[in-house]
Amino acid sequence: MNRVTTAGLTSAEEERASRLIDGFRTTTGRAAHSVVRAPGRVNLLGEHTDYNGLPVLPMAIDRSVLIAVAPRADRLVRLLNTDARYKPRQYALADSIPPSPSGDWSNYAKAAAQGLRRAYPMQIQHGADLVVDGNIPAGAGLSSSSALVVASALALLGVNDVDVPYDVLAELLPKAERYVGTLSGGMDQAASLLARAGNALRIDFFPLRVRTVPLPAGYRVVVCHSLVHAEKSGAARHAYNQRVIECRLVTRVLERLLGTSLPRGLSTLGDLVALFPNRSLLDFLPCLTAQVPDRPLDIREIAALIGTCPDRLRDACGGVAEEFVLLRRARHVFSEAERVNAAEEALRAGDTAAFGRLMDASHTSCRNDYDVSCPELEELIRIAKEAGAVGARLTGAGFGGCTVNLVAHADVPAFLTRVDRYFYRARLGGAGRVGEHRFLFTPHDGATVFRL
Ligand code: NG1
Protein backbone atom coordinates (compact mmCIF):
# COMPACT_ATOMS: atom_id res chain seq x y z
CA MET A 1 0.00 0.00 0.00
CA ASN A 2 1.18 3.52 -0.90
CA ARG A 3 1.30 4.99 2.62
CA VAL A 4 0.49 8.73 2.76
CA THR A 5 2.13 10.65 5.61
CA THR A 6 1.18 14.26 5.65
CA ALA A 7 0.98 16.91 8.34
CA GLY A 8 -2.66 17.86 8.79
CA LEU A 9 -4.06 14.34 8.51
CA THR A 10 -4.80 12.24 11.58
CA SER A 11 -3.25 8.78 11.49
CA ALA A 12 -6.69 7.33 10.73
CA GLU A 13 -7.02 9.77 7.83
CA GLU A 14 -3.54 8.85 6.56
CA GLU A 15 -4.65 5.26 6.50
CA ARG A 16 -7.90 6.13 4.70
CA ALA A 17 -5.99 8.29 2.20
CA SER A 18 -3.51 5.49 1.48
CA ARG A 19 -6.32 3.02 0.84
CA LEU A 20 -8.12 5.60 -1.27
CA ILE A 21 -5.10 6.20 -3.50
CA ASP A 22 -4.71 2.48 -4.09
CA GLY A 23 -8.44 2.10 -4.68
CA PHE A 24 -8.34 5.00 -7.13
CA ARG A 25 -5.77 3.20 -9.23
CA THR A 26 -7.74 -0.05 -9.17
CA THR A 27 -11.11 1.45 -10.04
CA THR A 28 -10.08 4.11 -12.58
CA GLY A 29 -6.89 2.53 -13.92
CA ARG A 30 -5.12 5.86 -13.40
CA ALA A 31 -2.86 7.46 -10.80
CA ALA A 32 -4.46 10.04 -8.53
CA HIS A 33 -3.24 13.62 -9.03
CA SER A 34 -4.10 14.76 -5.50
CA VAL A 35 -6.03 13.96 -2.36
CA VAL A 36 -8.35 16.51 -0.79
CA ARG A 37 -9.59 16.47 2.79
CA ALA A 38 -12.56 18.54 4.03
CA PRO A 39 -13.65 18.08 7.66
CA GLY A 40 -17.13 18.10 9.15
CA ARG A 41 -17.84 20.46 11.99
CA VAL A 42 -19.67 20.60 15.26
CA ASN A 43 -21.28 23.89 16.20
CA LEU A 44 -20.63 24.83 19.82
CA LEU A 45 -22.94 27.84 19.88
CA GLY A 46 -24.90 30.04 17.48
CA GLU A 47 -27.66 27.91 15.97
CA HIS A 48 -29.76 29.20 13.08
CA THR A 49 -27.92 32.49 13.18
CA ASP A 50 -25.70 32.09 10.10
CA TYR A 51 -28.40 32.62 7.47
CA ASN A 52 -29.39 35.72 9.41
CA GLY A 53 -25.89 37.11 8.97
CA LEU A 54 -25.24 36.73 12.70
CA PRO A 55 -22.28 34.94 14.33
CA VAL A 56 -21.59 31.25 15.03
CA LEU A 57 -18.96 29.34 17.00
CA PRO A 58 -18.15 25.94 15.45
CA MET A 59 -15.01 23.80 15.37
CA ALA A 60 -13.84 21.33 12.71
CA ILE A 61 -13.78 17.64 13.68
CA ASP A 62 -11.57 14.72 12.76
CA ARG A 63 -14.31 13.15 10.63
CA SER A 64 -13.93 14.16 7.02
CA VAL A 65 -14.58 13.68 3.34
CA LEU A 66 -11.48 12.59 1.42
CA ILE A 67 -11.40 12.70 -2.36
CA ALA A 68 -8.74 11.23 -4.63
CA VAL A 69 -8.87 13.00 -7.98
CA ALA A 70 -7.24 13.06 -11.42
CA PRO A 71 -7.96 15.48 -14.28
CA ARG A 72 -9.64 14.48 -17.54
CA ALA A 73 -9.06 16.01 -20.95
CA ASP A 74 -12.83 16.25 -21.56
CA ARG A 75 -15.60 17.91 -19.52
CA LEU A 76 -16.86 14.74 -17.91
CA VAL A 77 -16.91 14.35 -14.12
CA ARG A 78 -17.01 10.73 -12.99
CA LEU A 79 -17.88 10.22 -9.34
CA LEU A 80 -17.24 7.03 -7.40
CA ASN A 81 -17.71 6.39 -3.70
CA THR A 82 -16.01 3.83 -1.47
CA ASP A 83 -19.37 3.37 0.30
CA ALA A 84 -21.47 1.05 -1.87
CA ARG A 85 -24.66 2.82 -0.79
CA TYR A 86 -23.61 5.75 -2.97
CA LYS A 87 -23.78 4.59 -6.57
CA PRO A 88 -21.41 5.80 -9.33
CA ARG A 89 -22.56 8.96 -11.11
CA GLN A 90 -21.30 11.09 -13.94
CA TYR A 91 -22.13 14.47 -15.41
CA ALA A 92 -20.71 17.05 -17.79
CA LEU A 93 -19.25 20.30 -16.47
CA ALA A 94 -21.50 23.18 -17.48
CA ASP A 95 -22.91 26.46 -16.19
CA SER A 96 -26.23 24.67 -15.62
CA ILE A 97 -25.87 21.08 -14.49
CA PRO A 98 -29.17 19.18 -14.28
CA PRO A 99 -29.65 17.93 -10.69
CA SER A 100 -30.20 14.27 -9.88
CA PRO A 101 -33.38 13.44 -7.90
CA SER A 102 -33.53 15.14 -4.49
CA GLY A 103 -31.38 13.35 -1.91
CA ASP A 104 -28.94 11.89 -4.44
CA TRP A 105 -25.37 12.23 -3.15
CA SER A 106 -24.04 13.51 -6.48
CA ASN A 107 -26.02 16.73 -6.09
CA TYR A 108 -23.45 18.03 -3.57
CA ALA A 109 -20.61 17.52 -6.04
CA LYS A 110 -22.72 19.04 -8.81
CA ALA A 111 -23.49 22.03 -6.57
CA ALA A 112 -19.77 22.72 -6.22
CA ALA A 113 -19.09 22.21 -9.93
CA GLN A 114 -21.89 24.49 -11.10
CA GLY A 115 -20.91 27.17 -8.56
CA LEU A 116 -17.28 27.12 -9.71
CA ARG A 117 -18.17 27.08 -13.41
CA ARG A 118 -20.35 30.15 -12.93
CA ALA A 119 -17.68 31.98 -10.92
CA TYR A 120 -14.67 30.96 -13.06
CA PRO A 121 -16.10 29.98 -16.47
CA MET A 122 -12.82 30.37 -18.36
CA GLN A 123 -10.63 28.51 -15.87
CA ILE A 124 -12.79 25.48 -15.00
CA GLN A 125 -12.49 23.53 -18.25
CA HIS A 126 -11.34 20.05 -17.27
CA GLY A 127 -13.55 17.33 -15.92
CA ALA A 128 -12.15 14.82 -13.44
CA ASP A 129 -12.32 11.31 -12.07
CA LEU A 130 -13.10 11.43 -8.35
CA VAL A 131 -13.25 8.73 -5.71
CA VAL A 132 -14.92 9.87 -2.49
CA ASP A 133 -14.45 8.40 0.97
CA GLY A 134 -16.41 9.94 3.84
CA ASN A 135 -16.84 9.06 7.51
CA ILE A 136 -19.00 11.93 8.78
CA PRO A 137 -22.38 10.52 9.85
CA ALA A 138 -25.05 11.82 7.43
CA GLY A 139 -28.11 13.67 8.71
CA ALA A 140 -26.42 14.21 12.08
CA GLY A 141 -25.90 17.98 12.00
CA LEU A 142 -22.15 17.47 11.54
CA SER A 143 -22.02 18.91 8.04
CA SER A 144 -21.34 15.86 5.94
CA SER A 145 -23.02 17.57 2.98
CA SER A 146 -20.96 20.75 3.11
CA ALA A 147 -17.76 18.76 3.58
CA LEU A 148 -18.60 16.98 0.31
CA VAL A 149 -19.27 20.32 -1.40
CA VAL A 150 -15.99 21.78 -0.11
CA ALA A 151 -13.94 18.69 -1.01
CA SER A 152 -15.49 18.48 -4.50
CA ALA A 153 -14.76 22.15 -5.11
CA LEU A 154 -11.12 21.83 -4.02
CA ALA A 155 -10.70 18.70 -6.14
CA LEU A 156 -12.01 20.43 -9.24
CA LEU A 157 -10.00 23.60 -8.65
CA GLY A 158 -6.86 21.51 -8.14
CA VAL A 159 -7.10 19.56 -11.38
CA ASN A 160 -7.83 22.80 -13.27
CA ASP A 161 -4.84 24.53 -11.63
CA VAL A 162 -6.99 27.32 -10.27
CA ASP A 163 -5.98 28.89 -7.00
CA VAL A 164 -8.85 30.45 -5.06
CA PRO A 165 -8.23 31.72 -1.51
CA TYR A 166 -10.18 29.76 1.08
CA ASP A 167 -11.98 32.84 2.41
CA VAL A 168 -13.28 33.55 -1.12
CA LEU A 169 -14.45 29.95 -1.44
CA ALA A 170 -16.11 30.18 1.97
CA GLU A 171 -18.35 32.94 0.58
CA LEU A 172 -18.93 31.30 -2.79
CA LEU A 173 -19.77 27.74 -1.74
CA PRO A 174 -22.78 28.44 0.53
CA LYS A 175 -24.50 30.05 -2.47
CA ALA A 176 -23.43 27.12 -4.64
CA GLU A 177 -24.85 24.62 -2.12
CA ARG A 178 -28.32 26.17 -2.46
CA TYR A 179 -28.39 24.08 -5.68
CA VAL A 180 -29.64 21.22 -3.46
CA GLY A 181 -32.67 23.25 -2.37
CA THR A 182 -31.69 24.27 1.18
CA LEU A 183 -31.60 27.99 1.95
CA SER A 184 -28.61 27.41 4.21
CA GLY A 185 -26.20 29.92 5.71
CA GLY A 186 -22.42 29.89 5.43
CA MET A 187 -21.24 28.34 8.71
CA ASP A 188 -20.46 24.84 7.47
CA GLN A 189 -18.34 25.72 4.46
CA ALA A 190 -16.43 28.41 6.40
CA ALA A 191 -15.73 26.01 9.28
CA SER A 192 -14.66 23.22 6.93
CA LEU A 193 -12.28 25.56 5.08
CA LEU A 194 -10.96 27.93 7.73
CA ALA A 195 -10.99 26.09 11.09
CA ARG A 196 -7.80 25.88 13.16
CA ALA A 197 -6.65 22.91 15.22
CA GLY A 198 -7.06 23.31 18.96
CA ASN A 199 -9.55 26.15 18.68
CA ALA A 200 -13.14 27.01 18.04
CA LEU A 201 -13.78 29.50 15.22
CA ARG A 202 -15.95 32.55 15.61
CA ILE A 203 -17.44 33.34 12.22
CA ASP A 204 -19.19 36.58 11.25
CA PHE A 205 -20.88 36.93 7.90
CA PHE A 206 -21.42 39.43 5.08
CA PRO A 207 -18.54 40.08 4.83
CA LEU A 208 -17.04 36.89 6.17
CA ARG A 209 -14.64 37.33 9.11
CA VAL A 210 -13.19 34.60 11.30
CA ARG A 211 -11.13 34.48 14.46
CA THR A 212 -9.99 31.60 16.61
CA VAL A 213 -11.35 31.25 20.14
CA PRO A 214 -9.50 29.03 22.64
CA LEU A 215 -11.32 26.06 24.13
CA PRO A 216 -10.89 25.32 27.83
CA ALA A 217 -8.10 22.92 28.76
CA GLY A 218 -9.28 19.93 30.81
CA TYR A 219 -12.63 19.58 29.01
CA ARG A 220 -13.80 17.39 26.15
CA VAL A 221 -16.37 17.99 23.47
CA VAL A 222 -18.63 14.93 23.41
CA VAL A 223 -21.14 14.56 20.60
CA CYS A 224 -24.06 12.13 20.94
CA HIS A 225 -26.32 11.08 18.08
CA SER A 226 -30.01 11.01 18.92
CA LEU A 227 -30.45 8.16 16.36
CA VAL A 228 -33.02 10.38 14.61
CA HIS A 229 -31.75 11.07 11.10
CA ALA A 230 -32.58 14.57 9.98
CA GLU A 231 -31.61 14.39 6.30
CA LYS A 232 -31.88 17.75 4.55
CA SER A 233 -33.33 16.04 1.49
CA GLY A 234 -36.50 15.20 3.41
CA ALA A 235 -38.91 16.83 5.88
CA ALA A 236 -36.06 18.56 7.71
CA ARG A 237 -35.37 20.63 4.59
CA HIS A 238 -38.90 22.00 4.56
CA ALA A 239 -38.81 22.79 8.27
CA TYR A 240 -35.38 24.42 7.89
CA ASN A 241 -36.39 26.55 4.91
CA GLN A 242 -39.54 27.64 6.74
CA ARG A 243 -37.36 28.99 9.58
CA VAL A 244 -35.26 30.93 7.05
CA ILE A 245 -38.41 32.49 5.58
CA GLU A 246 -39.77 33.30 9.04
CA CYS A 247 -36.57 35.22 9.76
CA ARG A 248 -36.85 37.12 6.46
CA LEU A 249 -40.41 38.05 7.43
CA VAL A 250 -39.25 39.27 10.85
CA THR A 251 -36.70 41.47 9.04
CA ARG A 252 -39.44 43.06 6.95
CA VAL A 253 -41.71 43.63 9.95
CA LEU A 254 -38.84 45.17 11.88
CA GLU A 255 -37.91 47.42 8.94
CA ARG A 256 -41.40 48.85 9.07
CA LEU A 257 -41.49 49.17 12.85
CA LEU A 258 -38.12 50.94 12.86
CA GLY A 259 -39.16 53.20 9.98
CA THR A 260 -36.22 52.20 7.82
CA SER A 261 -35.63 50.17 4.70
CA LEU A 262 -32.71 48.02 3.75
CA PRO A 263 -30.76 48.85 0.61
CA ARG A 264 -31.59 46.60 -2.35
CA GLY A 265 -29.96 43.18 -2.17
CA LEU A 266 -29.81 43.11 1.64
CA SER A 267 -32.40 41.03 3.45
CA THR A 268 -31.13 39.54 6.69
CA LEU A 269 -31.67 40.48 10.31
CA GLY A 270 -27.91 40.99 10.51
CA ASP A 271 -28.09 43.55 7.68
CA LEU A 272 -30.87 45.36 9.48
CA VAL A 273 -29.26 45.55 12.92
CA ALA A 274 -26.04 46.76 11.27
CA LEU A 275 -27.94 49.97 10.43
CA PHE A 276 -28.16 50.63 14.19
CA PRO A 277 -24.59 50.13 15.43
CA ASN A 278 -25.28 51.64 18.85
CA ARG A 279 -28.04 49.23 19.79
CA SER A 280 -27.55 45.81 21.32
CA LEU A 281 -29.37 42.94 19.62
CA LEU A 282 -31.80 42.49 22.49
CA ASP A 283 -32.87 46.16 22.12
CA PHE A 284 -34.80 45.14 19.01
CA LEU A 285 -37.13 42.79 20.85
CA PRO A 286 -39.40 45.19 22.80
CA CYS A 287 -40.85 46.83 19.69
CA LEU A 288 -41.53 43.42 18.16
CA THR A 289 -43.13 42.17 21.39
CA ALA A 290 -45.38 45.21 21.47
CA GLN A 291 -46.63 44.77 17.90
CA VAL A 292 -46.38 41.10 16.94
CA PRO A 293 -48.74 38.57 18.61
CA ASP A 294 -47.00 35.57 20.19
CA ARG A 295 -48.73 32.89 18.04
CA PRO A 296 -48.56 31.64 14.45
CA LEU A 297 -49.70 34.36 12.07
CA ASP A 298 -51.33 33.91 8.68
CA ILE A 299 -50.14 35.64 5.52
CA ARG A 300 -52.77 38.38 5.78
CA GLU A 301 -51.77 39.31 9.32
CA ILE A 302 -48.11 39.39 8.36
CA ALA A 303 -48.83 41.42 5.21
CA ALA A 304 -50.65 43.96 7.40
CA LEU A 305 -47.66 44.19 9.74
CA ILE A 306 -45.30 44.71 6.80
CA GLY A 307 -47.68 46.96 4.87
CA THR A 308 -47.73 44.86 1.71
CA CYS A 309 -50.25 42.95 -0.37
CA PRO A 310 -50.99 39.40 0.91
CA ASP A 311 -50.87 37.80 -2.54
CA ARG A 312 -47.49 39.26 -3.30
CA LEU A 313 -46.22 38.13 0.09
CA ARG A 314 -47.59 34.61 -0.43
CA ASP A 315 -45.70 34.40 -3.73
CA ALA A 316 -42.53 35.73 -2.11
CA CYS A 317 -42.78 32.98 0.52
CA GLY A 318 -42.90 30.37 -2.24
CA GLY A 319 -46.00 28.71 -0.79
CA VAL A 320 -43.95 26.87 1.88
CA ALA A 321 -46.64 27.43 4.52
CA GLU A 322 -49.79 29.40 5.28
CA GLU A 323 -48.79 30.30 8.83
CA PHE A 324 -45.52 31.57 10.24
CA VAL A 325 -44.13 32.09 13.75
CA LEU A 326 -42.34 35.43 14.01
CA LEU A 327 -41.93 36.67 17.57
CA ARG A 328 -40.40 33.52 19.05
CA ARG A 329 -38.09 33.09 16.05
CA ALA A 330 -36.79 36.64 16.51
CA ARG A 331 -36.31 36.06 20.24
CA HIS A 332 -34.20 32.98 19.53
CA VAL A 333 -32.05 34.55 16.82
CA PHE A 334 -31.25 37.78 18.70
CA SER A 335 -30.63 36.05 22.03
CA GLU A 336 -28.55 33.32 20.35
CA ALA A 337 -26.31 35.87 18.62
CA GLU A 338 -25.83 37.62 21.97
CA ARG A 339 -24.94 34.25 23.50
CA VAL A 340 -22.19 33.81 20.89
CA ASN A 341 -20.75 37.19 21.92
CA ALA A 342 -20.96 36.24 25.59
CA ALA A 343 -19.49 32.79 24.92
CA GLU A 344 -16.47 34.23 23.18
CA GLU A 345 -15.88 36.50 26.18
CA ALA A 346 -16.36 33.63 28.64
CA LEU A 347 -13.91 31.40 26.75
CA ARG A 348 -11.29 34.12 26.49
CA ALA A 349 -11.69 34.77 30.22
CA GLY A 350 -11.40 31.03 30.99
CA ASP A 351 -14.90 31.00 32.52
CA THR A 352 -15.96 27.51 31.51
CA ALA A 353 -18.99 27.43 33.82
CA ALA A 354 -20.39 30.55 32.12
CA PHE A 355 -19.80 28.97 28.71
CA GLY A 356 -21.67 25.86 29.85
CA ARG A 357 -24.63 27.94 31.03
CA LEU A 358 -24.75 29.63 27.62
CA MET A 359 -24.84 26.22 25.92
CA ASP A 360 -27.75 25.19 28.15
CA ALA A 361 -29.59 28.45 27.47
CA SER A 362 -29.04 27.98 23.73
CA HIS A 363 -30.69 24.59 23.90
CA THR A 364 -33.70 25.93 25.80
CA SER A 365 -34.10 28.66 23.19
CA CYS A 366 -33.74 26.19 20.29
CA ARG A 367 -36.46 24.06 21.86
CA ASN A 368 -38.92 26.68 23.11
CA ASP A 369 -38.55 29.50 20.61
CA TYR A 370 -37.19 27.82 17.49
CA ASP A 371 -39.03 24.49 17.77
CA VAL A 372 -36.14 22.43 16.41
CA SER A 373 -35.75 19.86 19.17
CA CYS A 374 -37.43 16.44 19.42
CA PRO A 375 -38.11 13.96 22.26
CA GLU A 376 -34.91 11.97 21.63
CA LEU A 377 -32.73 15.10 21.77
CA GLU A 378 -34.51 16.14 24.97
CA GLU A 379 -33.80 12.81 26.56
CA LEU A 380 -30.13 12.96 25.60
CA ILE A 381 -29.86 16.46 27.08
CA ARG A 382 -31.51 15.35 30.31
CA ILE A 383 -29.15 12.37 30.63
CA ALA A 384 -26.14 14.56 29.76
CA LYS A 385 -26.97 17.04 32.50
CA GLU A 386 -27.50 14.24 35.02
CA ALA A 387 -24.16 12.81 33.92
CA GLY A 388 -22.39 16.05 34.77
CA ALA A 389 -22.04 17.88 31.42
CA VAL A 390 -21.04 21.49 32.04
CA GLY A 391 -23.17 22.44 29.03
CA ALA A 392 -25.39 20.42 26.68
CA ARG A 393 -27.34 21.42 23.60
CA LEU A 394 -28.53 20.22 20.24
CA THR A 395 -26.13 21.06 17.41
CA GLY A 396 -26.74 21.78 13.72
CA ALA A 397 -30.20 22.38 12.35
CA GLY A 398 -31.91 20.08 14.88
CA PHE A 399 -35.08 17.99 14.20
CA GLY A 400 -32.86 15.05 15.24
CA GLY A 401 -29.13 14.68 14.66
CA CYS A 402 -26.70 15.25 17.51
CA THR A 403 -26.20 16.94 20.86
CA VAL A 404 -22.91 18.60 21.78
CA ASN A 405 -21.75 18.40 25.39
CA LEU A 406 -18.87 19.97 27.26
CA VAL A 407 -17.59 17.49 29.83
CA ALA A 408 -14.69 17.77 32.30
CA HIS A 409 -11.94 15.37 31.27
CA ALA A 410 -12.20 13.38 34.50
CA ASP A 411 -15.98 12.98 34.09
CA VAL A 412 -15.90 11.62 30.53
CA PRO A 413 -15.85 7.88 31.39
CA ALA A 414 -18.81 8.21 33.77
CA PHE A 415 -20.60 10.43 31.25
CA LEU A 416 -20.24 7.85 28.48
CA THR A 417 -21.28 4.99 30.74
CA ARG A 418 -24.45 6.81 31.69
CA VAL A 419 -25.35 7.85 28.14
CA ASP A 420 -24.69 4.31 26.92
CA ARG A 421 -26.78 2.73 29.66
CA TYR A 422 -29.75 5.05 29.70
CA PHE A 423 -29.94 6.11 26.05
CA TYR A 424 -28.21 3.75 23.64
CA ARG A 425 -28.64 0.41 25.37
CA ALA A 426 -32.30 1.18 25.96
CA ARG A 427 -32.72 1.69 22.22
CA LEU A 428 -30.17 -0.58 20.61
CA GLY A 429 -30.23 -3.55 22.96
CA GLY A 430 -26.98 -5.52 22.39
CA ALA A 431 -23.80 -3.85 23.65
CA GLY A 432 -21.97 -4.21 20.30
CA ARG A 433 -23.18 -1.05 18.54
CA VAL A 434 -23.65 1.09 21.61
CA GLY A 435 -20.35 2.99 21.37
CA GLU A 436 -20.74 3.86 17.67
CA HIS A 437 -23.03 6.80 18.11
CA ARG A 438 -21.18 9.11 20.43
CA PHE A 439 -17.88 10.78 19.65
CA LEU A 440 -15.07 12.56 21.47
CA PHE A 441 -13.91 15.36 19.20
CA THR A 442 -10.84 17.57 19.35
CA PRO A 443 -10.78 20.69 17.17
CA HIS A 444 -9.05 20.09 13.84
CA ASP A 445 -7.62 22.15 11.00
CA GLY A 446 -9.76 23.08 8.04
CA ALA A 447 -9.49 21.60 4.55
CA THR A 448 -6.23 20.58 2.91
CA VAL A 449 -5.12 19.52 -0.58
CA PHE A 450 -2.18 17.13 -1.02
CA ARG A 451 -0.59 17.06 -4.45
CA LEU A 452 0.77 13.56 -5.03
P1 NG1 B 1 -26.59 21.07 9.51
O2 NG1 B 1 -27.70 20.67 10.38
O3 NG1 B 1 -25.26 20.61 9.99
O4 NG1 B 1 -26.83 20.67 8.08
C5 NG1 B 1 -27.59 23.52 9.05
C6 NG1 B 1 -27.10 24.51 8.02
C7 NG1 B 1 -26.18 25.58 8.64
C8 NG1 B 1 -26.86 26.22 9.85
C9 NG1 B 1 -27.37 25.13 10.81
C10 NG1 B 1 -28.17 25.68 11.97
C11 NG1 B 1 -26.96 23.34 5.86
C12 NG1 B 1 -26.09 22.71 4.85
N13 NG1 B 1 -26.37 23.83 6.97
O14 NG1 B 1 -26.51 22.72 9.50
O15 NG1 B 1 -25.87 26.56 7.67
O16 NG1 B 1 -27.90 27.08 9.48
O17 NG1 B 1 -28.21 24.20 10.13
O18 NG1 B 1 -27.39 26.52 12.76
O19 NG1 B 1 -28.17 23.43 5.66
**Residue closest by Cα to atom 3 of ligand 1:** 141
Of 69-78, 153-162, 433-442, the range with the lowest mean pLDDT is 433-442
Per-residue model confidence as pLDDT tens digits over 364-419: 999 999 999 999 999 999 999 999 999 999 999 999 999 999 999 999 999 999 99
User: Does ligand 1 come within 6 angstroms of the Cβ of 205?
Assistant: no
Instruction: Compute the mean pLDDT over every residue in the chain, rounded to the nearest whole number.
Output: 95
Q: What global pTM score does this model have?
A: 0.95
Mapping DSSP onto H, E and C, the string for the chain reads CCCCCCCCCCHHHHHHHHHHHHHHHHHHCCCCCEEEEEEEEEEEECCCCHHHCCCEEEEEEEEEEEEEEEECCCCEEEEEECCCCCCCEEEECCCCCCCCCCCCCHHHHHHHHHHHHHHCCCCCCCCEEEEEEECCCCCCCCCHHHHHHHHHHHHHHHHCCCCCCHHHHHHHHHHHHHHHCCCCCCHHHHHHHHCCCCEEEEEECCCCEEEEEECCCCEEEEEEECCCCCCCCCHHHHHHHHHHHHHHHHHHHHHHHHCCCCCCCCCCHHHHHHCCCCCCHHHHHHHHHHHCCCCCEEHHHHHHHHCCCHHHHHHHCCCCCCEECCHHHHHHHHHHHHHHHHHHHHHHCCCHHHHHHHHHHHHHHHHHCCCCCCHHHHHHHHHHHHCCCCEEEEECCCCCCEEEEEEEHHHHHHHHHHHHHHHHHHHHCCHHHHHHHEEEECCECCCEEEEC
431: confidence class by pLDDT, cuts 50, 70, 90:
low
Determine the distance separating the centroid of ligand 1 and the alpha carbon of 259, expressed in angstroms: 32
Q: What is the pLDDT of residues 239-263, one digit of tens each?
A: 999 999 999 999 999 999 999 999 8
Nearest-atom number in ligand 1 for the CA of 46 is 18
Report the separation in Å between the CA atom of 125 and the middle of ligand 1, taken as the mean of its atom positions: 31
pLDDT score for 266: 85
Give 20-29 pLDDT, tens digit per residue.
999 999 999 9
Q: Is the CB of 395 under 6 A from ligand 1?
A: no
Q: What is the mean pLDDT of residues 31-41?
A: 97
> Is 129's C-beta closer than 6 angstroms to any atom of ligand 1?
no
Q: To test ligand 1's pocket by mutation, which of 108, 148, 187 has the most ligand atoms within 8 angstroms of CB? A: 187
Which residues are part of the catalytic machinery? 188
% of the chain residues with pLDDT over 90: 88
Give the pLDDT confidence of 146-201 residue by residue, as tens digits: 999 999 999 999 999 999 999 999 999 999 999 998 888 999 999 999 999 999 99
Give the mean model confidence (pLDDT) for residues 98-124: 97
**Nearest CA, atom 19, ligand 1:** 184
Q: Does the Cβ of 270 fall within 6 Å of ligand 1?
A: no
Q: Is 145's C-beta closer than 6 angstroms to any atom of ligand 1? A: yes
Ligand 1 and 51: CB distance under 6 A: yes
